[in-house]
Amino acid sequence: MLGAEKALFRHLRSGAKPPKHGLILQHSLVLSAKNKRGRIDRLLASKIMIAVRTDYYSKGKKKIEKELLKDLEEKAEKILKRELIMKKK
């Protein structure tokens, strides 16, 4: 859980409440979504994971960040448009 390490380890050691917010939830795409935060959060996390795996296994030789960013923005825009349409109904 990026950005919530202290809360995560506190939870593991003492049984406190698990962390709810990390760095991914501070991204502008996630913040701009009111009702679809979880969906965009999962989308962002999956794209980050693809980028990390590609970087690791290609040993930094393959660059796909532009493709992933474009795909992320397109999918997030579709999700946000659906949210606006649902609000109007």
| CB of 2 closer than 8 Å to CB of 24 | yes
Q: What is the pLDDT of residue 67?
A: 92
66-79 confidence digits (pLDDT tens): 899 899 999 998 98
Q: For 81, phi and psi rounded to 5 degrees?
A: -65, -40
The mean pLDDT value for 55-76 works out to: 88
Domain ranges of the chain: 5-88
Predicted local distance difference test score (pLDDT) of residue 34: 78
pTM: 0.69
**CB 40 within 8 Å of CB 33:** yes
Q: Whole-number mean pLDDT of the chain? A: 83
